[in-house]
Amino acid sequence: MTFIFKYFDIKPYIRKFTRSKFANKVFGFVKANRVLVKISCYALVGLCALIISFVSVGITVGFKVNYSGKVIATVSDASVFDSAKDIAVKNISGTNADKALEKPVFIMTLTVADKLCSADTLADAIIENTNDISQGTALVVNGEIKICTQGEGLSDMLEARLTQYYVDGAENTSSFTDKVELVDGYYLNEDLKNVFDAQTIIDDLDVKTVSTTVTENTVTYSVKKIKTSSYETGYHKIYKEGQNGVTRTTVVSETVNGTQSCENKVSKETISEPSEQVEIIGTAAPKVSATERAEASSEGFIFPLNRGTYQITSYYGDGRNHKGIDLGANTGTAIFAVSDGTVTYAGYDGDYGYNVVVDHGNGIQTRYAHASALCVSKGDKVSQGDMIAAVGNTGWSTGSHLHFEVIVNGVRVNPAPYIGL
C-alpha cells in the first residue's frame, strides 16, 4: 500500500468527498438523529458479535423431524428426509412399503452442526418408528419370497424337514434340491404370517438325503486237518487255533423325499483276513488189535476205546439207576463200533449230548454218548473197530467221558459182560 501512496496522493480525494453534497446530507442526518444512529451502531455491532460467536461454536439452523408423534431426528433440511425415506423403502420388503411410511412435520430449530442427522441414520429411525413395519424372517426359495413370519420357528421347521428321511443307524446328510434361504429384515405387518402357515410350503420342499451305512461281517476260518500215522487213531489235537476274519461293507444310498433316487453304492473292504485252523489227526493202527479186544468179550464185541486210554468212572446201576457204563477219557479219544451194524441214530439228543446208536441185529443195539464229534450219519453201515465218534463232554455230563449202553430188545442191560469187564 505504501508503494501505491507514493504515486497516488489520496488526500485531495477525501477533501473533495467531504465537500460534496452527498457528504453534507449524511453528516446532516447523523447530527439530526444522533441517538438513533448510536443505538443502530450498537445493535449492528451486537448482531455481528452474535453471528461470529454462533459460527465459532457451530450453531446452525436445522429442522426437527416429528414422525409418528415423536421427534426422531434433526436434519439440515427436508431433502434429507426424502433421501432417508428412499433408503428405508429399499430396506423394507413388500410392494406397498412407501405407503406404510407416515408424513413428517418439520420444526425449525437452532442446533449444533454435529448433531444433524444423516440420511442413513434417519432411515433406520423411520423404520423403527413406523407402526406398520416389524422385523421378521422370510423363507426365500430360488430367490422368491414364499412367506414372512416372526420368531425363530422357520429354522426349526426346515431342520425337521431336512432330517425327516434320515435312516436309523446310518450317517446321514441332507439338503434341499432348491436354493432355500431364511432372510431376516423389515416387513410390512400385513405381509407377516403365522409361522404355522409355513408348514405346507416347507412340506413341499424336495429333500435329498444321502445315508451311509457301515456293517462289519465275520468271515469264519477254515479248518485244515492233517492226518498223520505218527499218532494212533483217535488222536486229535488243535495245532494252531483259527481266527475269524472281518470285512466291512459300506452302502451309500441316496433318496429324494424318501424314495430311492439312484442305485446304492456298495463297497467292501477287508479289515482282517481269517487265519486257518490246523488240526492233527492220528491214523496209526491201535497198539491193541481189534481181534485181541474181541477175544475178551462174550458176544464178540470189542472194547469201544483203546486200552490204556480210559478209566471206569461209573458202573451200570450205580447210585442213580445208571443205565450204562462210564469210561473217563480225554476229549478227542477215538470211539470204535463194538461190532458190525447200521447207524440208527447220529445227532444231539438232550442229556446224551452228541451220541450214536448202532443196530447190530438180533435185537441188540449199542449207544455211545457225550461225544465231542461224530464220524458217522444215520443209515451208515459200520464195521467192528471203525471210529464212529470222539469222546467228549456234551449233554448232561460233568467231565469228558464215554457213556456206553447195550440195549437188548429195547431194554438197557449191564454192558460189562459184552465188553469183557
Residues that bind Zn ion (CB under 5 A): 324, 326, 403
Residue 407 has φ and ψ, to the nearest 5°, of -115, 120
Enclosing H/E stretch for 91: helix 78-91
Cell readout for 299 is 458176544
Four-point Cα dihedral 274, 276, 277, 283, nearest 10:
160
d(CA 147, CA 196): 11
Cell readout for 277 is 485252523
Segments in 92-227 forming alpha helices (H): 97-100, 119-128, 153-162, 199-203
Pairing relationship of beta strands 180-188 and 92-93 according to DSSP bridges = parallel
350 three-state secondary structure: helix
Sheet containing 180-188: order of strands: 92-93, 180-188, 133-141, 144-149, 192-193
